[in-house]
Amino acid sequence: MLLGPSLLKGRDSDGFPQYQEKFIRDCIRKFPYCEATLLQELVRSIAPIEIGNDPTAFSVLNQAITGQMAFVDANYCATCGEKGADKRCSLCKAVTYCSLSCQKLHWFAHKNMCRCLQEQDADLEKDSPKLKELKDDESDLVMETANFLQELCLRAEEQVAAAGGCPAELRAFPPPSAEGPSFTQD
């Protein structure tokens, strides 16, 4: 089996590209310049994550290479990783490709997950009105909580002002430092 296709093959259960994940982790592990800051950051980001969980080694490596551009809403080819992929699987519409050849190369790995992705999309469309209602309820709750906290702060400010300012014991309290709160041991 060629190295390229094996990197694209996903787990049967969920399509996660486990060989790609292991390959990237192995490359990072074998990188010869251990003192490199970027390598140390990659290791710190990837080491505690179990294979199959987010963030993937690919996404961490991609973000390290491209910087904050990884957060830009851009589609990447599922096969080669090319940015700006504008073609989608015609069945599930969930996976993007930069070309027909990349789609054909990826099909053997994608075909097992394609039907599941189609079903998930259909379920989401069916549940969409319920989700919108839940989001609206959540937004209302957030707004009510924010209004309550704002009112609480205003009342507290009024009480402090009416009492002639902050009590002496609060004014004597050291201001928070850039490192966070400081604690003293009794």
pLDDT tens per residue across span 161-175: 777 766 555 555 445
Considering the domain boundaries, does residue 59 fall inside one?
A: yes
Considering the domain boundaries, does residue 113 fall inside one?
A: no
Crossing angle of helices 18-30 and 57-66, rounded to 10°: 60
How many CB atoms neighbour CB 7 within 10 A?
A: 18
Considering the domain boundaries, does residue 156 fall inside one?
A: no
Strand segments (E) across 30-154 = 87-88, 96-97
Whole-model pTM over 0.75: no
Considering the domain boundaries, does residue 14 fall inside one?
A: yes
Considering the domain boundaries, does residue 24 fall inside one?
A: yes
Domain that holds residue 34: 1-72
Query: pLDDT tens-digit profile of 102-153?
Result: 899 888 888 888 888 888 877 776 766 766 677 676 777 777 777 677 777 6
What is the tally of structural domains in the chain? 1
Considering the domain boundaries, does residue 63 fall inside one?
A: yes
Considering the domain boundaries, does residue 55 fall inside one?
A: yes
Minimal CA–CA distance to 11: which of 99, 121, 116, 103? 116
pLDDT at 80: 79
Considering the domain boundaries, does residue 157 fall inside one?
A: no
Q: What angle do CA 95, 119, 9 make, to 5 degrees?
A: 45
